[in-house]
Structure 1
């Protein structure tokens, strides 16, 4: 993903220079990591699992813990997740 002044985050004003993706987060191993589960519904179905990626500074893996989502994941820098979280809270008129 490439960020420049035109693509700066509307929530935080980040640009590519502030959080460059020099390494591909998907090349880092995440087997057997302990995740935190955020459950917003019937927790028997599972929800969103999040964990820091070992050996990477400010990098995270996000997984769907429902059986249909098994094996699927997304990886983000802390800045990217912060931007998402702030944007989500704002767009949903939530308070944190």
Structure 2
């Protein structure tokens, strides 16, 4: 998978106020962006999960914890997502 590296500067006092390091901020930002892009229908569930650094099932749990509706789909989109969930369940066996 091809990737792009994004970098930007964050004032140290912001990290101190948040009581997290750069890695924690990156993880928080990835999850927050993934939730917003999913809520705004800019990314699918699978791509949002990938952006968040999670598998689909964990991302679905994360969405639920954030109060987001996970299954707001038309019938064809729902079938596609369920296929992905079935694939994940088969991989766990």
TM-score range, shorter chain: under 0.3
Greater strand share, 1 or 2?
A: 1
When normalised by structure 1's length, the TM-score is 0.24
Which structure carries more helix by proportion? 2
Which has the bigger relative contact order, CA under 8 A and spacing at least 6?
1
Whose Rg is larger? 2
TM-score of the pair, normalised by structure 2: 0.24
